[in-house]
Amino acid sequence: MAKINKTVLGNGVRIVSERVTHVHSVSIGIWVRSGSRYERKAEAGIAHFIEHMLFKGTQKYTACDIARMIDSVGGVFNAFTSKEYTCFYVKVLRQHVDMAVDLLCDIFFRSLFLQDEIEKERNVILQEINMVKDTPDDYIQDMFNHDFFCDHPLGYNILGELDTVQGFSRRDITGFYRREYLVPDRIVIAVAGNIEHDALVERLAAKFESVTKKKTIPAQNSFLPSRSINCNFRSLEQVHVCLGTLGCSHLDLERYTLYVLNAIFGGSMSSRLFQEIRENRGLAYSVTSFTASFCDTGIFGVYMGVVKDTVQEALGIVFDEMRSLREKPVTDAELSAAKEQLKGNMLLAMESTDSRMSRLAKCEMYYDQYIPLSRILKDIDAVTQDDVRELARGLFRDDQLTCTFLGPLKNRDLPRDLLLLG
């Protein structure tokens, strides 16, 4: 039986752990409530840049030392940056926890940000940005986010833009790091695996109690999106389409209804969109719906790649299914299957310590408490056909629909009434 423990240090740093006695591994993550949403426009991409730099050498270890230490024990050491948080994590066998904690804390507090390393990593990140631009099914997501959120920081590319990344100085990078990362009430240390909580706190407290409290600038509030249709011409084999509307935030009481609606609509191989667009008509290899949630807003969207001549037919199916969800109740079989899919995915994820660690951290950041899995499963089971229909009526509206196209398509190629739900 897993046991959840939480300790709040005097400065506000939170340490949460889940002891799982039947596993050999321990996953440890330092999570910071800061990401691309906390950047100013000229800083776009700087949080992601810092993520890279924290692996490039400390006062104690070189970048090569860091890689060899983790490789030598068969561990995993990585990081990622999102819109609202950044995570640095390590996964090792339980007998190597002391080394992992030492290394993780060392890169977090004592990275050198050497100028030579900054220049080398700048080139790496510029290549990463160009790689995404050369991958249309990835790039369309960035373009859609920009169209959906306009100039709001949620619309910034997490990797940044070529001009912003090229312009970062060492002072810019270290200044953002001190401003956004060394803030105790933004830091959550999440650990899952075969480990004792009290021993963990003892190891971490001395390192994190030195972080002093400071005043911070909150992330910019969100807004309600407006209707937007944008064609971006590029000579490609396919037209990549991404369309979406306002979804649910992490705190929205309807979020579980949205997860069910997504599973039915296009979030799985048995979903309506996948079955009709791919299986029945063969119009696309890739078609899916998706959700993205933030602390105060969210997106519900659809992505697909189709040839130019079938854009109208494929979009017609998407809009027909949106209307159907607004006007007719989903079937008992669809509702039951969607719930079982969601519950199964969650339960299977709990078999890995890194997934458990991530769940601990996100619960703490968004809800200030651990949300038992049993409660989430119960909330999913409580979703009704009427709930799905009412949510669809609220989401699928012409006045807040954004649609982005990338490929051999221009605005004049689209019938005026094609993107109207009515």
Q: Which residues are catalytic?
A: 51
Q: How far is CA 213 from CA 10, 29, 104, in A?
A: 10, 21, 21
Both tokens of residue 344?
Answer: 């199964």
DSSP 323: H
What CA–CA distance (Å, rounded) separates 321 from 226? 22
Query: Residue 227's closest CA among 392, 420, 412?
Result: 420
Dihedral sign, Cα of residue 273, residue 274, residue 276, residue 282:
positive
Give me the residues paired with residue 77 across strands.
Answer: 90
Whose tokens are 């890995």? That residue is 352
What CA–CA distance (Å, rounded) separates 273 from 310? 15
Cβ burial of 109 (10 Å; 0-12, 13-18, 19+) is: middle
Contact between 228 and 299 (Cβ < 8 Å): no
| 3-class DSSP assignment, residue 220 | coil
Give me the residues paired with residue 18 across strands.
Answer: 4, 192
Query: Residue 339's closest CA among 276, 382, 291, 292?
Result: 382
